[in-house]
Chains A and B, each alone.
Chain A
Amino acid sequence: MSQPAHPHDHSACQRLLASIGDYVEGEINLELCQEIERHLSGCENCRIVVDTLSKTIYLYQANAQDTTVPGAVRDRLFSTLKLDAILPRKP
């Protein structure tokens, strides 16, 4: 997946791509994990892909709870369901 400046086993980049999901989730066996980390120590582009992929996931997860529901949307939902009298919105 990368074009490293130094010659190495390019097929390892392809194998890493297939395992990268499990690797960033920490769901990978020790042997494969060690193989990937050996590869990353010698392949700058793959290291960047792994690091920026992890950062991408982190940014989305860190912002996940940012969405709030406007009070009026909640009110209309409970009114439509005829639940507004049962559970009014807290002030």
Chain B
Amino acid sequence: MIDEDAHNFSISALRNGDRVEFARMVETYYTPIYRLALKMLAHEQDAEDVLQTTFLKAFQNIQGFEGRSSLSTWLYRIAANEALMLLRRKRPEQSLDEEPAESEDNLPLPAQFTDWCCLPEKEFVTTEAKAQLDRAIQKLPEKLRVVFILRDIEGLAIKQTGEILNLTETAVKTRLLRARLALRESLSAYFSERLLLE
């Protein structure tokens, strides 16, 4: 998460086409934007395409930026939309429009009940374990994945995540819980096997 206040960007300079201020903004945000795209897409070239498109669109539209949201919210929104559109283009047969349920009434019931928390710490930091974390994210439906990445990878607040995705805070919380429960199931399957090998 980036402390926007610490950078103190001049919105008026950005809107007036100040290239130095724009470069400073790009320098500040290109890493989190790339990270969002890479975690969403799991493909380096696609992530780079989203990164470039995000800042090209920001440059083209900065004059219309009114500061109603923060700069980071605005940039994350462009990037998230670009990543979701790319996924739609690549996999049109898969419907992104199938809304995840927003209610907590019918949450998927946990199925894995092995306590793998007691594994030695070295088990959690292997390259294989980290690859497993990434694979588990890719198994999430896109609309849950984006919420999880913004909240738990980027460390954004529920409110800002909602602003970026145009969702209510309740909807963000429900999608986040669904994502976290699904990831717990994936990781439980993997780490339970590690436990057997201990």
Chain A residues with a Cβ under 8 A of chain B: 1-2, 17-18, 20-22, 44-45, 48-49, 51-53, 55-57, 59-61, 63-64, 66-69, 73-74, 76-78, 80-81, 83, 86-87
Contact = CB atoms under 8 A, between A and B. Distances in A.
A44 to B, nearest CB: 8
B52 A83 contact: no
Given A48-B114, A64-B152, A81-B55, A56 B184 contact: yes
Contacts, number: 111
B22 A83 contact: yes
Interface stretch (B5-13, B32-40, B88-96): B32-40
Chain A interface mostly: helix
A78 B55 CA distance: 10
B180 A18 contact: no
B107 interface: yes
Nearest to B39: A67
B23 A87 contact: yes
Contacts of A68: 31
Interface of B: 19-20, 22-24, 26-27, 30-31, 34-35, 38-39, 48, 51-52, 55-56, 59, 104-105, 107, 109-110, 112-117, 124, 130, 133, 148, 152-155, 173, 176-177, 180-181, 183-184, 187-188
Given A52-B116, A57-B180, A83-B22, A18 B155 contact: no
B183 A60 contact: yes
